[in-house]
Amino acid sequence: MSGFYDDEKEKIDRVGNQKSNLSEDISVKWKEAFSQIDYGIDVESSTIYMFGDITDGTLYDLVLRIRAVMYMRPDEKSNDPINIIINSDGGDVYEALGMIDYIQSLNVKVNTICRGRAMSAAALLLCAGTGIRAVSKNSTIMFHEMSSGIYGKSSDMKANVQHMEKLEEILVSIMSDNSKKDGKFWEEKTIKDYYLSPAEALELGVIDSIIEPKNKRE
């Protein structure tokens, strides 16, 4: 699990004359932290936050955030995995496919971590991670087939249907290539919304790990 994001930070000990600059250092750190959070990144842990619907521009934002992290992190961490924290109902399939193509083109591994839910297009992104694919204990995963409101001329509608069928083949191949089940299984299961608990997702090979709580009330 080396390089896996687990919400822990390195402890920094300040000694000697550095103490006089402690308040100034903290102020700078907080400003940097809030700036990064607003942009959806954490450079220190090589983490990208992807929350909300996948819409036009989500792919562009993801590429910018990953490039920003890779540019700003120190040289000694240049080969560390990128972590994408996902909490999304899904959305635009074209954007999701573009994100999958991008993370699979990188020279470093990409860990995909679901906290909350990863549904539809977001579930595809989760399972297509090139590093560790993990889910927090009480998260929800959902896969389903494509949906679209097709209208217009008869010839256009036929072309759209043919295009959707090709896209559906791509989605099924992503699910089968990144799980323990074949395409026929996913075609049958995703005719309707197919909800998975973390344990079920782990059994199917959609994810690699379940993030268990570190502290519980005794």
The Cα 136–Cα 141 span in angstroms is: 11
Contacts of 44 (CB under 8 A, 6+ apart): 9, 10, 73
Residues 46 and 11 sit within 8 Å (Cβ to Cβ):
no
pLDDT, tens only, 145-176: 876 555 556 676 677 778 888 999 999 999 99
Distance of CA 65 to the CA centre of its chain: 13
Answer yes or no: is 152 within a domain: yes
Answer yes or no: is 49 within a domain: yes
pLDDT value of residue 46: 94
Q: Which DSSP letter does residue 81 get?
A: P
Residues in the chain where the model's pLDDT stays below 50: 1-2, 9-20, 22
Answer yes or no: is 123 within a domain: yes
Answer yes or no: is 6 within a domain: no
Tokens of 111: 């860990």
Contacts of 80 (CB under 8 A, 6+ apart): 3, 46, 73, 108
Answer yes or no: is 174 within a domain: yes
Indicate if 163 belongs to the active site.
no
Query: Which of 45, 46, 88, 120 is the catalytic position?
Result: 120
Answer yes or no: is 14 within a domain: no
CATH code of 168's domain: 3.90.226.10
Answer yes or no: is 36 within a domain: yes
The Cα 129–Cα 153 span in angstroms is: 39
Structural domain boundaries enclosing 93: 23-211
CA-wise closest residue to 128 among 115, 143, 145, 116: 143
* Per-residue b or e along 53-81, where b marks 16 or more CB atoms closer than 10 Å to that residue's CB: ebeeebbebbeebbebbbeebeeebeebb
Q: How many domains does the chain have?
A: 1
pLDDT value of residue 161: 76
Answer yes or no: is 11 within a domain: no
Query: Which of 144, 176, 197, 209 is the catalytic position?
Result: 144
Indicate if 144 belongs to the active site.
yes
Task: Say how many C-beta atoms besides its own lie within 10 A of residue 43's C-beta.
Answer: 17
pLDDT value of residue 12: 38
pLDDT value of residue 26: 54
pLDDT value of residue 162: 84
